[in-house]
Structure 1
Amino acid sequence: MAQKAAKTLATRNGALLNRTHMISATLHVLFLVLHQIFQRPRSLKPYFLLAVPTLLIEYYLDRVGRPSYNEDGSLRSAGEDLNATGLTEYMWDILYWTQGCIVAVCVFNDRAWWLWAVVPLYSVYLAYTTVMGVKKGFAGMGGGAGEGAGDSEGAKSKREMKKEKRGDRAKVRTR
Structure 2
Amino acid sequence: MAQKATKTLAASNTKRLNQTLYATLAIHSLFWFLRALIFRSSLSRKSILLYLLFSSPQLLLQLYFERLSRPTLNSENGAVKRAGEDLDAKGLTEYMWDVVYWSYGCIMMAAVFGDYAWWLWAVIPVYSGYAAWTTYTGMRGGYQDAAGVPQPGAATSKRQAKMEKRGGQKVQYR
TM tier relative to shorter chain: 0.7 to 0.9
Contiguous gaps of at least 5 residues in structure 1 = 140-147, 149-157, 160-175
Is 1:10 equivalent to 2:10 in the alignment? yes
SS at match of 2:142: helix
Displacement of 1:128 in angstroms is: 0.1
Look up the match of 2:59. 55
Displacement of 1:131 in angstroms is: 0.4
TM-score (norm 1): 0.76
Q: Give me the whole-angstrom Cα distance separating, in 2, the residues matched to 1:86 and 1:114.
A: 26
**Which residues of 2 match residues 1-175 of structure 1 at below 5 A?**
1-37=1-37, 38-39=39-40, 40=42, 42=44, 43=46, 44-71=48-75, 72-137=77-142
SS at match of 1:82: coil
Letter in 2 for 1:109: G
Render the CA deviation track for 1:135-164: whole Å, top value 9, x for unaligned.
01289xxxxxxxx9xxxxxxxxx99xxxxx
Letter in 1 for 2:101: Y
Runs of 4 or more, structure 1, over 2 Å off, are none
Letter in 1 for 2:100: L
Q: Give me the whole-angstrom Cα distance separating, in 2, the residues matched to 1:15 and 1:41.
A: 35
RMSD: 2.0
TM-score (norm 2): 0.76
Pair member with larger Rg: 1
Render the CA deviation track for 1:95-138: whole Å, top value 9, x for unaligned.
00000111111222221111111000000001101100110128
SS at match of 2:63: helix
Displacement of 1:61 in angstroms is: 0.7
- Report the CA distance shift for 1:31/1:134 in structure 2 as closer, same or farther (over 3 A): same
When the two structures are aligned, how many residues end up with a matched partner? 142
Look up the match of 1:144. none
Q: Give me the whole-angstrom Cα distance separating, in 1, the residues matched to 2:50 and 2:106.
A: 11
Looking at secondary structure, tell me which structure has more helix per residue. Answer: 1
